[in-house]
């Protein structure tokens, strides 16, 4: 999932970034997937009508007699141009993913009504010396029929829209009568409306069928967890190969986040790609299950549903990730940076002791949470790229393919960027140094716009001192430790998360960040519990995205 919305209101935290949501985008009676289908339908319809109308206008200008072109342009042509601009505007709006699907559906309904009125006026509002056609089935019939099929809506809405579009016919006749044309008799008006009533009936039947499909989708969603343990509440994130749901345990009512990969989401992938995605998914679950640090996100369950979907259940976290923390509140004081780094080190130290390397540490993968009465409690997320040092070479060949590297360019160690076999715990130390640099300065170590340029900087460019970026002093010992973590040669860095933690605790010149400081900060900046949810990867800027890079 993923789009940038205003940060106020409920906050949803993602693995690959944070999306703030102004309230809840209520899907109403239709499933979210059906509303997304409506979004796509409005985009397709408006795009097709834009192309058809543009072509019709061009042909009309070419075929019309030059002497009557001005008269044509001043009447029907103007209404066609209006419909063209209306369709083009709808296409632009429907193409923007930042719109809530429900809000976009309402805009689409307005487009449907205005478009129907424009078509009716083009047909039943002729020049004063012309008689409007009565027993005539125009493009309005197509307009009425196709919308419920391509852009589904609730049944009562579809009925109302279809009848309203049909009502534009007598409305256009009334406008013609006001302009001086003779108004047809009641029988003639009925004859003119009858074909469109028939089209409206077809539209209502189509809407009914689509709503049954929506009900089936909702039922399937409820049956996703075949063991019946968890009740799905709402989908909170969608990635390229998976999605995440907010769920609750049916008996304990404990909230949870369920990460799912369905078979249909893998249909476009090749067999090796499908195998690699599933292998990473399973590896993340088994890795989380083996780790016990309180600073590693907890795994509750893992398995496969009756319809073949892979899933695992993890804790639902309250808070915000470090990416959002810095983007919204600016660089952090040195004492708070050390407090956060020590907690990340506690999570990584356990993984390193077991011979595991995270390989995708970045601010978006570190959550700062409320845990009971505690605040500023760190949770490390997204162990999908973790590898075991002893078997890393075989695993990387199997899961990433030949001549590829996997990770986030802005936080990738030089040896990981070179796709070397010697990636170990010191690679995570380098990434943690990049995170510390970001927390202290609010900027990344290297800020190239291109992926390869950024990777080359991590491989061969000496980073600028954090204090020069911040333009104010940073405790000398902390600054030097960050630069040591960013050493190009792994031998010159702290050799593990445990070693880094020892050096952090030895920094005496840094004013400590106390529990009282943390509570005061949360009371001012996060006074309400904003439920943040661990969700699937979503497209992000090149510097903040986990990417597969050909080398």
The catalytic site residues sit at: 360
17 and 123 Cβ atoms separated by less than 8 Å: no
Query: Among 452, 389, 383, 391, which residue's Cα sits nearest to residue 418?
Result: 452
Q: Which long-range contacts (CB under 8 A, 24 or more apart) does 205-209 make?
A: 206/145, 206/148, 206/149, 206/158, 207/148, 207/152, 207/153, 207/154, 207/155, 207/158, 207/159, 207/162, 208/155
Query: Among 125, 105, 96, 129, which residue's Cα sits nearest to residue 42?
Result: 105
235 and 101 Cβ atoms separated by less than 8 Å: no
Q: Is 419 left (phi over 0), alpha (psi -120 to 50) or beta?
A: left
Q: Which long-range contacts (CB under 8 A, 24 or more apart) does 266-271 make?
A: 266/241, 269/241
Q: Which two tokens stand for residue 384?
A: 């999908």
What count of other Cβ atoms lies within 10 Å of the Cβ of residue 448?
18
User: Which ranges of 291-408 would DSSP assign to H, the alpha helix?
Assistant: 322-329, 334-353, 392-400
- Rounded CA gap, 407 and 282, in Å? 18
242 and 260 Cβ atoms separated by less than 8 Å: yes
- Rounded CA gap, 369 and 325, in Å? 11
526 and 6 Cβ atoms separated by less than 8 Å: no
- Rounded CA gap, 550 and 417, in Å? 11
- Rounded CA gap, 549 and 120, in Å? 54
Rg of the Cα atoms in the chain:
30
Alpha carbon 238 to its chain centroid, in Å, reads 6
547 and 409 Cβ atoms separated by less than 8 Å: yes
Secondary structure (DSSP) of 418-458:
TT-TT--HHHHHHHHHHHHHHHHHSS-S---SSHHHHHHHH
14 and 535 Cβ atoms separated by less than 8 Å: yes
Q: Which two tokens stand for residue 60?
A: 């009309």
């Amino acid at each position: 999932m993923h789009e940038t919305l205003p940060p106020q209101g409920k906050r949803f935290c993602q693995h690959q970034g944070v999306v703030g949501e102004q309230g809840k985008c209520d899907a109403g009676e239709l499933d979210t997937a059906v509303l997304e289908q409506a979004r796509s339908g409005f985009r397709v319809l408006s795009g097709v009508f834009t192309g058809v109308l543009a072509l019709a206008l061009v042909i009309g200008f070419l075929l019309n007699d030059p002497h009557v072109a001005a008269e044509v342009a001043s009447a029907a042509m103007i209404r066609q141009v209006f419909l063209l601009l209306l369709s083009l505007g709808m296409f632009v709006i429907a193409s923007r993913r930042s719109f809530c699907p429900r809000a976009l559906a309402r805009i689409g309904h307005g487009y449907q009504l205005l478009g129907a009125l424009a078509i009716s006026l083009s047909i039943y509002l002729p020049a004063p010396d012309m008689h409007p056609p009565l027993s005539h089935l125009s493009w309005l019939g197509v307009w009425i029929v196709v919308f419920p099929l391509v852009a589904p809506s609730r049944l009562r809405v579809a009925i109302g829209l279809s009848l309203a579009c049909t009502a534009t016919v007598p409305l256009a006749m009334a406008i013609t009568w006001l302009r001086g044309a003779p108004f047809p008799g009641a029988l003639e008006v009925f004859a003119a409306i009858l074909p469109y009533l028939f089209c409206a009936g077809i539209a209502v039947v189509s809407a009914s069928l689509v709503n049954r499909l929506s009900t089936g989708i909702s039922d399937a969603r409820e049956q996703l967890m075949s063991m019946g343990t968890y009740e799905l509440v709402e989908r909170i994130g969608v990635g390229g190969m998976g999605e995440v749901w907010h769920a609750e345990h049916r008996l304990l009512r404990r909230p949870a986040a369920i990460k799912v990969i369905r078979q249909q989401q893998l249909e476009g992938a090749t067999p090796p790609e499908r195998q690699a995605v599933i292998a990473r998914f399973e590896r993340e679950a088994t890795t989380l299950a083996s780790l016990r640090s309180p600073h590693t996100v907890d795994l509750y369950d893992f398995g496969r549903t009756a319809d073949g979907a892979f899933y695992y259940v993890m804790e639902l976290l309250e808070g915000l990730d470090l990416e959002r923390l810095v983007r919204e509140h600016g660089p952090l004081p040195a004492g708070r940076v050390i407090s956060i780094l020590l907690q990340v080190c506690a999570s990584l130290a356990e993984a390193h002791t077991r011979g595991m390397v995270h390989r995708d540490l970045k601010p978006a993968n570190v959550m700062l949470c409320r845990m009971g009465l505690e605040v500023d409690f760190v949770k490390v997320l997204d162990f999908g790229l973790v590898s075991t040092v002893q078997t890393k070479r075989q695993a990387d060949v199997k899961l990433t393919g030949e001549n590829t590297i996997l990770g986030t360019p802005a936080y990738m160690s030089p040896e990981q960027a070179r796709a070397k076999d010697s990636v170990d715990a010191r690679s995570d130390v380098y990434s943690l140094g990049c995170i510390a640099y970001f927390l202290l300065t609010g900027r990344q170590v290297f800020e190239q716009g291109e992926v390869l340029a950024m990777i080359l900087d991590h491989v061969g460019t000496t980073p600028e001192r954090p204090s020069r970026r911040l333009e104010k002093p940073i405790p000398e010992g902390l600054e030097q430790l960050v630069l040591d973590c960013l050493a190009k040669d792994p031998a010159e860095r702290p050799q593990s998360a445990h070693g880094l933690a020892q050096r952090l605790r030895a920094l005496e010149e840094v004013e400590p960040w106390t529990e009282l400081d943390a509570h005061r900060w949360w009371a001012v900046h996060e006074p309400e519990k904003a439920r943040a949810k661990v969700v699937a990867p979503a497209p992000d800027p090149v510097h903040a995205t986990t990417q597969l890079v050909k080398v």
